[in-house]
Amino acid sequence: MANTLNRTHPLLMERFKSSRGLQIAFAVCVLLLPLLLQCFGNAWVRIADFALLYVLLALGLNIVVGYAGLLDLGYIAFFAVGAYTYALLSSPQLSYAFPWIVEIFPNGLHTPFYIAVPLSALLAGLFGLLLGAPTLRLRGDYLAIVTLGFGEIIRVFLNNLDRPVNITNGPKGIGDIDSLTVFGAPLSRRLDLGFTEIPSVTLYYYLFIVLVTFSIVICNRLEHSRIGRAWMAIREDEVAAKSVGIHTRNLKLTAFGIGAIFGGISGAMFASFQSFVSPESFSLMESVMVVAMVVVGGIGYLPGVVIGALLLSALPEVLRFVAGPLQELTGGRLDAAILRQLLIAVAMISVMLLRPSGLWPSPDQDHGDSKGSKDPNNNRSKDHG
């Protein structure tokens, strides 16, 4: 079955790229999806919105982990930096902390989104460079531990920055965050077209689709650029990359910075969409989930990363409808939340056992794995040789 999937994935991609009809049909399905989900309630559209946000996060982490081969377990920190930067620039929070801001902006600091979002991205990118600079010589597990600590430091910092000056409002979080306004229409309100109304969650869905599409194009161009090929050379063998003249230090910093910018933009969108942020949203488990999305989908391969992010972000919500009946079968002895986490873990373990390279790995990696599986004595003969 695995070999059949190995042959099917490249054929599907080639057929999709060469068929204009399939591309149009796929685009129509994506555009009509929220209208279909609205038949079951806006909650399902909201799940789709969050799934797209996770796709943005996974695409950014794929630059660091998939392309450059740098295991980053603290990626959620850049998500937090982007979210809090947007929240502080687009809410009354700073007016409460600094009276002089009230004198300049009597109605509160409500920065336009075309200023707040780029600033969120730039600040997150700066934090990415700050993380990358002292970790350039670290690899593998050591790099993972340092980045994990960085993510926790940011979360604890945000959680305690409510004294002596209340900047982040501590564990209470920041509310009253402005929503995005596109062409004078705030996305927090329904859009009246005369013959129908489009809910706010659907408007955000279309915005996130545009951002995801743009991000995929950027990642694809990066992958096939000179920088992308250098990243992959570093991922495969850093010593060999240095020997052929690749400046590994600058390229690693570039990967950290660009990946962090993706996280910052995702955070700004999250803050705008939720109108509220708190440190609880940026826990270690969130970082682990984003890494799992990249690995389960197919590390370093854009279609796989997108599929992994969509599945793992939507799966917990779908399993709510499975965990409830299972809890009733056990007489309520199992907590539904714990049972849901157990089902997610079983699903992820099953994928890793059946598809070690991910649900949709790159064709080169897939072929390499299949060749290795056909010759079980290959590695043994190399060791003896």
**Predicted local distance difference test score (pLDDT) of residue 210:** 95
Closest C-alpha to 210, from 255, 180, 171: 180
For residue 62, the 8-state DSSP code is I
DSSP states of 89-133? HTSSHHHHH-HHHHHH-TT-----HHHHHHHHHHHHHHHHHHHHG
Closest C-alpha to 198, from 187, 208, 184: 187
With a CB cutoff of 8 Å and minimum separation 6, the contacts of 6 are 366, 367, 369, 370
d(CA 63, CA 67): 5
pTM over 0.85: yes
Closest C-alpha to 157, from 89, 61, 77, 275: 77
Q: State the angle between helix axes of 20-37 and 200-223 in degrees (0 to 180), rounded to the nearest 10.
A: 150
- Average pLDDT along the chain, 385 residues, taken 10 residues at a time: 52 61 84 89 91 95 93 93 95 85 80 93 95 84 90 93 89 91 83 82 94 95 93 91 90 94 96 94 90 90 92 81 71 69 79 84 63 45 42
**Predicted local distance difference test score (pLDDT) of residue 226:** 94
d(CA 87, CA 116): 9
d(CA 155, CA 138): 23
**Predicted local distance difference test score (pLDDT) of residue 12:** 59
